[in-house]
Amino acid sequence: MKKPLYIFFVGILAVTLLDSLGAIASKQLNFNYSFLSVISFVVYVGFAFLLARQSDKKTTIILTGLLGLFDATVGWKLSEILGANTGENNIEITTTIMII
């Protein structure tokens, strides 16, 4: 497997572990799941840096974007399923709000 794809799949694994373990920990330890956004940012920047060192700009942008898309869709669903403590919010998530 080419090096950029290997880095990308390790990034997917890291994001999945962060979302899963973070959701469980936030539920068990009663802290707001959004505090983990700083760690997510570090993961994105770190994997973007590693990808940039191993591939061209186009590949780096595409794979980093896909990593973010994975976290925003699958990661969010995982955190919902695992019951992450997202604090008190009375906002109903509708299609319009998701688009915004």
Q: pLDDT (tens digit, 9 = 90+) per residue, 54-93?
A: 999 999 999 999 999 998 899 888 888 888 887 766 666 6
31 neighbors 90 (Cβ within 8 angstroms): no
Separation between Cα atoms, residue 62 and residue 100, nearest integer Å? 22
Mean pLDDT of the chain: 86
Statement: residue 95 has pLDDT above 70: yes
**Which position has the higher pLDDT, 86 or 30?**
30
CA triple 78-83-87, angle to 5 deg: 115
Length of the chain: 100
Q: Binning pLDDT at 50, 70 and 90, where does residue 46 land?
A: very high
Q: Average pLDDT in the 31-58 region?
A: 89
Statement: residue 97 has pLDDT above 70: no
Separation between Cα atoms, residue 44 and residue 15, nearest integer Å? 9
